[in-house]
Amino acid sequence: VYKRQCGDSSDDPTTTEGETTTTAAAGATTTTAADATDTTAAAQPTGGMPGLNVVDDLTFTVEFEEADPEFPLKLAYAAFYPLPSVAYDDPVAFEEMPVGNGPFRMEGPWEHDVVVPLIRYEDYAGPDPAQVERLEWTIIDDLNTAYNEVLAGNLDILGPALPTDQIATAPDQFGDNYGISSSTSFTYMGFPAYMEEYTQDIRRALSMAIDRDLIVEQIYNNTRVAANSTIPPIFAGARTDVCENWNHNPDEAKALWDATGGLDEITVWFNTGGGHEEWVEAVTNMWRNTLGVENIKFESMEFSEYLPLLDDSQATGPFRLGWGQDYPSPLNFLEPLYASYNVPPVGSNTTFWISPEFDDAVAQGKAAVAASGLLEDGLPFYQQAEDILCDSAQIAPVWYRTNQYVYTEGTDNVFYDSYSVLGVTKVHADDGLVSVQVSEPEHLFPTTTNESNGIQVLRSLFTGLVQYDAETNEPFNAHASSIVTDDGRVTWTVTLNPGRTLHNVEPVTAASYVNAWNFGADPANAQQNS
């Protein structure tokens, strides 16, 4: 549902993370970083994107410049949530206590680094009403601390990641209160394209020096999957062997490294709080042992600080990032992360890689799907784009995750879906209160939130046009009663279910969506999901 960058402590948000952007909206004009300015307040959206029009209170139309066959699949992402009119008065103040339309509402303001307190919205008329009275997103950045809090009964749920040194023992410690489920999230090392010393052969050597299978075996007790691709294994079009650059080949890696003269020093970047210390250290040890790199330094910080630095081209060496699906298509794991037109602040191409060949392959895939309406027709082109990415070695995939989670007695119906998101409406607690670990979000404003922690919270507060079934991963209309097209997927008509309200009792209308999307796409508002 949502694309986002992943901190991995409470994702994996896609989306979020994130990303982060797929398609802004109809007829949107491409903007650059120079166009964006920071604002702390904004007036009600005026004008807006051509092709995005309110028909009546419950209907609006979206007309694209080119056919977009995957448009309905994207609409569960946070960027497409509706907003109340009060959100535009002061967006910064609004995200301290967001007003949504979902199964939970804010019980009080966001207490930074402490808790985001939610209470059941009793007038909720959408699908999947909440089963508990209160939901507390307890902000704990360190997984070991959170794990001990669950053991002590002070925290109800920890997931979808566990401390690496507890992975093997958690099933015995928690018994029936331990869970594992499939995820599409993956973690990679990115190499900054703006650093000339990281040439293609240097990148290839660093990637081929990584023994992904050994990391999965020794650090994760075989509960994750080694990544030799960027398209998740459960997706159509996924391959286990894309090109040699993403396979372990220590001899070729050493030969390449020596031929280039190597690098005297490497600074590796990663976020804290997600359990990344062990595998990042393992990767750097492989670089030492295989390539002979001796001088390796580390830069680490909380994810809410980390991601903005990457978006601002501040990484000074290889950096760790992850990605969780927004919607189940290979396109979602290619375009937002690597397309030339998705460099920050527009999207999540944090390596700042520019490849017209990659962009063209993606465009051909989208056109093929648009022509037939069949995802399978785009797969050869999406695979071609992945081949181009692998050849460049601009990133080094490391592993795909599985969701692992633990919870206390008195809590049940706990499940993390393929988006690595907790099914908050399904959870039951004997005392009516559930506390769930999350790292400090970067934002809680839908059109600018693009990382996993903020996405988790927003999915509790908002109900989008579309949602996905946690068990089958199949989309279904949530607030939308229908999303239809009759002109080859160029123009879509969205009709809403009636009688839905925001938490301030303001009716949710077609304008609630159109205004929100126009606000998010306006460069003057500097929204990360624009």
The closest alpha carbon to 508, from 487, 484, 478, belongs to 478
pLDDT at residue number 251: 98
Q: Is the peptide bond before 345 cis (omega within 30 degrees of 0)?
A: yes
Output the tens digit of pLDDT for each of the chain's 530 residues: 223 456 654 333 333 333 333 333 333 333 322 233 333 344 456 568 999 999 999 999 999 998 888 899 889 889 999 999 999 999 999 999 999 999 999 999 999 999 999 999 999 999 889 999 999 999 999 999 999 999 999 999 999 999 988 999 999 999 999 999 988 888 999 999 999 999 999 999 999 999 999 999 999 989 889 999 999 988 889 998 899 999 999 999 999 999 999 999 999 999 997 789 999 999 999 999 999 999 999 999 988 899 899 999 999 999 999 998 888 889 999 999 999 999 998 889 999 999 999 999 999 999 898 888 888 999 999 999 999 999 999 999 999 988 999 999 999 999 998 888 899 999 999 999 999 999 999 999 999 998 889 999 999 999 999 998 776 777 899 999 999 999 988 999 999 999 999 999 999 999 999 999 999 999 899 998 88
Q: Which pLDDT value is given to residue 41?
A: 42
Q: Please tell me whether the peptide bond between 446 and the residue prior to it is cis, using omega within 30 degrees of 0.
A: no
Q: Measured between alpha carbons, how far is 419 from 396 in angstroms, rounded to an integer?
A: 22
**Buried b or exposed e, range 263-287, using 16+ CB within 10 angstroms:** beebebbbbbbbbbeebbebbbebb
Q: What is the DSSP string of 16-43?
A: EE----S---TTPPP--GGG----S--P
Cis amide leading into 233 (omega within 30): no
Q: Which amino acid is at 251?
A: D
Token look-up 């809410």 returns 304
Q: Is the dihedral of CA 109, 114, 119, 125 positive or negative?
A: positive
Residue at 260: amino acid letter: T
pTM as predicted: 0.76
Alpha-carbon separation of residue 303 from 183, 398, 527 (angstroms):
20, 19, 18
* pLDDT at residue number 32: 29
Q: How far apart are CA 216 and CA 164, in angstroms?
A: 11
Q: For residue 83, what pLDDT is reported? A: 98
Distance CA(316)–CA(302), nearest Å, equals 17
Q: Which two tokens stand for residue 305?
A: 């600080």
* The residue type at 485: T
Q: Say how many Å lie between the first and final Cα of the chain, rounded.
A: 17
The pLDDT value given to residue 185:
86
Residue 355: what pLDDT? Answer: 98
The confidence score (pLDDT) of residue 47 equals: 62
Angstrom CA distances, 113 to 75, 441, 447, stand at 30, 9, 22
The DSSP H or E segment spanning 120 is strand 115-120
Q: Single out the residue of 58, 247, 276, 36 nearest to residue 164, CA to CA.
A: 276
Residue 117 φ then ψ, to 5°:
-90, 125
* R_g of the chain computed on alpha carbons: 22
Q: Are 113 and 96 in contact (CB under 8 A)?
A: no
